[in-house]
Amino acid sequence: MNMEPAKLTKDVLDKLPPAETGQYILRDTEEPGFFVVVGRKAKTFTVQIDVTTPLGKRQTRKRAVGKWPQVGVAEARRLARAAKVEIASEGSRKVGTALTLGEAWDELRANLLREVAAGRRSQRTVDSYEYGSQLLAEWKDTSLAKLSDNAHEVRARHRALSEASGPSAANGAMVFLRRTYNYAHKRRLDPNLPHYNPVDSVDLNPSARRDTAMSAGELAGWFGKLRSLPNPVRQEFHLFCLLSGSRPSALTVARWEHLDMGRRVLHIPRPKGGTKRAFDMPLSRPMLACLARARRAGRKVHAVNATEWVFPGDLGRSRRKAGPLSAGHIVEYREDREALPKWGGDLRQTYKTLSPEAGLTKTDVMILMNHADGDVNDGYMTRNKVAEDYLRAQQEAMSRYLMAAIKRG
């Protein structure tokens, strides 16, 4: 939904509700081309301007200039005016001039955002590349060709980032640079761009597989701490994460309208990978009981939000970088490790680790967890080809094993 233009002020921005799905925009009446993009979790100041490309083609360019409330309205307008000048100068780049990293990233980002809007890409992918671009901000105006010719500087930058920001962040910056370079080469954004990608010369830091799963013997102790959490909705949220093996980000936005009691499934419309990987999660009896308790708890703790969201949010915990958020559902699912030692991805890994003990096959687990498996042969086994009753029976077996392990303690 796009709203009628209005003068952007603090009061107006505070009152803008989060988008139910996708995004909507509110244009400013004071600064042409300036508007705020409202998503489910953030409000982003953005500027838009039409430019003429070196080949004489008119294109619309957009650029985010800050997020509310970290950036105030007056400052955002100032940044928008500066960005328009910068974008205009970029658009007038003459044929034959070398493409810079910043220019290539602008093109790639615009393409990624179109894929996000179409449901083919996760916003988190864009966010991760955005972080990579920040780590390499000093090269924004450096040509990709120069980076290709000076691969030793790219290697040195990777080593420096490894020490300053950590091995994972350094690798992420290189992944961003490689993707941006490859995109520019594939789209021929610079016909004179060398074939050699400088990241090919970098030895990335080894990534150690996280081993945070619980053993069956640890479940009872974990469950005892779970039941000591003060918020009953959060208790059921974490238990459902364990019983389903789901990514927590997919469950935070679960709505009651997604629950089909007739088929005993919970529809997950936008998992990791976008709408193309949407699936129906089969529900075991313990999972249904968990949802029933979550509904009762939600009505007591957040009566209004509980009518829509399976796991309604606690505003005291629902604060993001963009400021106070009234999304209505749990946003921040992390807990103090002293209060609850395992949550989120730890529970997903526990589900996968213990699944063989419950009698599940690798393919069963791959499908139930909606996991993209690297095995080519397993790839032919899709959830659409597997009987729903069979999957539910496997889910039942997994839940039965987990609950029995909890009770044994």
Q: What string of DSSP letters covers 152-216? A: HHHHHHHHHHHHHT-HHHHHHHHHHHHHHHHHHHHTTSSTT--S--GGGG--PPP-PPP--PPPG
- Identify the weakest region by mean pLDDT among 151-155, 179-183, 310-314: 310-314
pLDDT at 17 over 60: yes
Nearest alpha carbon to residue 247 among 354, 402, 124, 341: 124
Range from 221-235, 260-274, 293-307, 319-333 carrying the lowest mean pLDDT: 319-333
pLDDT in tens, 44-70: 999 999 887 654 567 888 899 888 988
pTM, two decimals, is: 0.61
92 — pLDDT class (breaks 50, 70, 90): low
H/E run at residue 340? none
Question: Alpha-carbon distance 84 to 82, whole Å?
Answer: 5
Where is mean pLDDT largest: 59-68, 182-191, 327-336?
Answer: 182-191
pLDDT given for residue 59 in this prediction: 80
pLDDT digit string, tens, across residues 346-368: 999 999 999 999 999 999 999 99
Q: Which domains does the chain have, with CATH numbers?
A: 1-94 (3.30.160.390), 96-204 (1.10.150.130), 216-408 (1.10.443)
Q: What is the pLDDT of residues 2-12, one digit of tens each?
A: 688 999 999 99
Task: Give me the chain's average pLDDT, please.
Answer: 87
Which DSSP letter does residue 283 get? -
* pLDDT over 90 percentage in the chain: 63
pLDDT score recorded for residue 1: 59
What whole-number distance in Å separates Cα of residue 38 and Cα of residue 20? Answer: 10
